[in-house]
Each structure stands twice: as structure tokens, then as C-alpha cells.
Structure 1
Amino acid sequence: MRLEGVGRRHRTGGPWIVRDVALDVPAGTLIRIHGANGSGKSTLLRLIAGIDTPSTGRITGRPRTTAYVPERFPAALPFTAAGYLTAMGRVHGLRRGAAERAGRTWLERLGAGPYANTPLGELSKGSSQKVAVAQALLAPPGGLLALDEAWTGLDPASRAVLDRTVTERVAEGTAVVFVDHDPHRLAGRPDAAYDVAGGRVRPSAVLLDERARGRPRVRVEVQGPPGAALPDGLPGAPHADGHRLTVAAAHSDALLHALLTARPAWHIRSVTPVEEEDPS
């Protein structure tokens, strides 16, 4: 999935919430979005999930299966918790019986099983959040999962369930993009992180410990025109040591494409896997 020159504003001539966003979201990757309150993080996630449409630019390659946990769950819906999850399971392609079973299973896993027959409007904030998380996890692996402060309001046990499930979904090929107020959430696991500030989305300055993740990496040696600087916003937020770029392997194709199609284009001298014992 790729965002190219994407911008969003509520009306023509109005202020941009985000603009000129260039972002790759490969399958099987975990991407964290950082930013202050009101910076546009939620708007970016809604664009990625297909809830909002860009005012400018384009988004290509979005998986057919997309699931989304909003920052604010609309609890005042005319369903019980189990009834809502059954309906959402049907949206994700499950037969009614399978959708009902899956919904109740996720409620149990998240510690909300006793509230299956409770109307949504009568649930506590924490239980409502568990329903919000459960409806997204009904989607089959291999698509796109966007989580906007999904951990907020959950108890420690259900937060741990969500942590494990995100890791499992990524391993199964799901692209997961998330926002969370806890800077230690899934620490060491994201393949890339981006900061949202002033309407712009940039590779994050937060150091990602790729070795701790144990995820495969590649090193790309490049050569550009004399005096040229590397392009901004390269996919995967690669670590640059001169003209040697190290990036998670899942982002390598997008990185090579960005370098080869840059103006001026960059020459790729070599692409090699990084061994775990490599100190750099």
C-alpha cells in the first residue's frame, strides 16, 4: 500500500490537516505513528484505513480486508455487544454462526464475556473499548489493521492480549499501523515510525532497535549525483551511514523504487542482507 502526495482538509481553501504525505505500508509490517494531540494522527489513520478520502494525492494498493479501531467508539448503537460483533463479523465475510462464535470468543479473550448480551450504551468505557478492539480483530489476517489509541481504557490483561495479537497478525502478513500514547508500547517491534507535526509526516527521530526485533534487514549501497542529498521521507525510515542505507527487509522494495524514481535518480550499487552480529 502506498500514499503519494496525500493531503486532507475539510473544505476547499480550509487549513490542511495533513499534506504531501508519502508513505509505504508493506504487508507484514508494523508501523507506529507519533505526534502531539491535534497533530493529524487520527486523520492519517483514517486515510490509511479508507474511512476518509484524500483531498489531494492518491492511495494505491490498499488490501481488500481492512479493520479499524477508532479513537472514539460510537457506543450508542442499537446492539448488544454480541449482536454488534456478529454484524461486524458478517461485514468481514463470516457466516452468521461463525461471526457469532468469533465475536463471543474475542469478548472472552479480552475479559468481556459476561457482557455479551449487554446493550452497547450500558457498557463501561473499558468494556466498550474491548468491543471496539474485538470488532477489528474479527477481520482475517493478511489485510490492514489500523489502531488509533486502541489500548486506551483496556485493563493490563486485555492490553497484553492485544499486544500478542498484533505481533501474531504481523507475522501472518497483516500490515498494522498504530497510534498509542505509551511510548513503550510494542517497544523494539515496529519496522518503521513516523512523526506527524505541522501537517507533515516524516520518518521518526525515535531510534528503532531492529536487532532487538530480530527482523531481517538489508543494506543498500547507493550512489547519487555529486553533492546531492538523499531524498526525504524514504520508505521504512532507513538508517543512513553516508550512502549505506539499512532498512527492514519488508521495506526494501519500496526503498529501491523510491531511490530509482527520485529526481535525480540514485544508482543502486549493492543490496545485501545484514547479519545479526553486524555491529552497525
Structure 2
Amino acid sequence: MRPDLCLHHAGRRYGLRGPWVLRGVDLTVAPGRLVRVEGANGSGKSTLLRLLAGIDSPSEGRITGRPRTAYVPERFPAALPFTALGYLTHLGTVHGLTRAAAARAAGEWLERLGAAAYAGTPMARLSKGGSQKVAVAQALLGEPELLVLDEAWTGLDADARAEFERAVAERTAAGGSAVFVDHDPRRLAGLPDATYAVRDGRLAPRAARETVPSGPHMTVETQGPPQGQLPEDVRRTATSAEETGPGRYRLTVPAPHSDVLLRTLLTARPPWHVVSVSQPDDTSGGLR
């Protein structure tokens, strides 16, 4: 397993005598962790993410444990001399894939994000939403160990936003980590392992809120071995897990992540049986 990514008393300023944007930052991002960063505009959130992504170097302090990292900014430079598929295929070969495997992975991600129709479109002709889908696809096709996402959902349509959330949940369930900033408090609601706030150039952990996140949820009834422990990946994805009997749990999960949770249950060893899946107000008890 890769080592933790650690910032040790890291600081960043621009210019030898410029003001400090960040200072004294200590942060550890372990494999499998999902971290949310909050703060007002201009507080230093993007600077922190650029340090984590390796785009900027700290002006003081140090960073250790560099994983393979993919970065998605709010605005992606679309004026590149490629088509969408050509660009992603090129990036896939940079990640070490064969050209055929890179083209296949590129096509799969464009399809998944609802951008297959843009495959042959020159990058310079893509809309903001189209270019952002390419930005997301280029980050995910190499299966990075760390995703750094700076308002990365901006410009995406609702289906693509939900699919991107599923992809982030899948990466962390598979042992990757992700750090993200987003203006929408519902983004990946209920999933982050930790939330930090940037204020006055300093980073501080924010106490977890006990409220159930807003938005549609699913209820999943599952049965495992009588003495079985619920898989950790399931606990990470679910908003809540109530034990209702020996090896039996009632799980609540945000609707966009229900397929991730179900896949994790069904592929666990030993496997867990899905008894029912329902909306909170559904009393049929059947699989929907």
C-alpha cells in the first residue's frame, strides 16, 4: 500500500516578499480517505489543492509520500490541438496504457459521463460543460491514487455530476483517496471522512455534523454471516448503518451512491445478501 501523503508545517506565498497565502499547514491524506476542504473565496483553498497535486511547491515546510495524482480544476484549458478522444487516448498512453487500451478506456469514460457524442469534436470547439467532462475523464482513466478536485463539478449537467460522484466514491472504496473543494454543501454529502476549513491562511479540522445530508436517499436491507462484520467500504459509503439482527443491517445511502454500495456488498468476501432496496417512503419492501 502506498504511504500517506503528508504536509508538514507547509506554507505558500507568491514572491519572496509576498503575503503568506497558507502557513503552518499539517495534513495527512491516507489511502481510502475522502477529504472535503471549505473556506471563503480567497482563503487559500485552491493554493492548498495545488500543493497537494504537486503543481506548486511549498515556500516552507515539506510534503512527503507523493502518490500518483490527478487534478481537475474548475476551468480546464480546452484550446488543445486534439479531439476529445484523441486527447484522452494520448493521456492514457502517458499513464502507461497501450494505445488500444487507452482508446478503450477513453471511450468508456466519455460514454459514462454522457460525452460520447463529443469524441470526435476538436477540444477548442467544446462547450464549458463538454470540456469539463473531458477534464474529469482524463483524471479518472489512469485510476489515480489521489484525486484533487477544485470545484471540478462546475459546468457539468446533473447526470454527469451524479456519475462523477459515483466515480469518486468508487475510487475511495478501491483504496484511492480524494481531496475536494465544492461550493455545493450537498456534494458527496455523508461520505467525507474528514472536513477541514481554511481561515486566515490556516487549516483546521471542522467538527463533523450529525445531521443527515439533504437529497434523496435509499434504504438497503442486507444480510451477512451471523457473526459477520459489515465491510468497512460499506460503512464508508453509507450515511448510517443500523444493526437489526445477527448479521443483518439497515443501511441509508445517498441515492447517487446506492450502486456503489450495492456493488460493494455483492462483491464482498464472504458475500452479503441484499434483502431489499427502497426509497425511505417505500413500504413495499421489494427491490426497486
Which category of TM-score, normalised to the shorter sequence, fits these structures? 0.7 to 0.9
Gaps of 5+ in 1: 217-280
Matched, 1:45 2:49: yes
Deviations 1:124-158 (A, max 9, x none): 111111001000001225x1111111111111111
Native 8 Å contact 2:194 2:208 kept in 1: no
Q: TM-score, normalised by structure 2?
A: 0.71
- Report what 2:143 is aligned to: 140
Say which of 98, 111, 133 aligns to 1:108. Answer: 111
Is 1:30 matched up with 2:51? no
2:168 to 166, 169, 177: 166
Matched, 1:15 2:19: yes
Structure-2 separation of matches of 1:215 and 1:131? 28
Amino acid across the alignment from 1:155: D
Q: In terms of mean alpha carbon deviation, does 40-49 or 86-95 score higher?
A: 86-95
Q: What letter matches 2:106 in structure 1?
A: G
**Contact preservation (8 Å) 1:34, 1:204:** no
Measure, in 1, the Cα distance between the counterparts of 2:54 and 2:211. Answer: 30
Runs of 4 or more off by more than 6 Å in structure 1?
none
Report whether the alignment pairs 1:70 with 2:73. yes
2:187 to 174, 185, 188: 185
| Cα offset, 1:206, TM superposition | 5.0
Q: Match of 1:207, as an amino acid? A: R
Q: Distance in 1 between matches of 2:96 and 2:38?
A: 32
Q: CA deviation at 1:160?
A: 0.9
Scaled by the length of structure 1, what TM-score is found?
0.73
Matched letter for residue 105 of structure 1? E
Aligned residues: 214
* Conservation of the 8 A alpha-carbon contact between 1:71 and 1:149: yes
Q: 1:209, 1:68 → 2: CA distance? A: 30
Partner of 2:249: none
Return the alpha-carbon distance in structure 2 between the equivalents of residues 14 and 199 of structure 1.
Answer: 13
5+ unaligned residues in a row in structure 2: which ranges?
Answer: 218-233, 238-288
SS in 2 for 1:130: helix
- Alpha-carbon contact 1:46-1:52 (below 8 Å) kept: yes
After superposition, the CA RMSD in angstroms is: 2.0
CA contact (8 A) 1:188 1:208 kept: no
| Corresponding residue for residue 275 of structure 1 | none
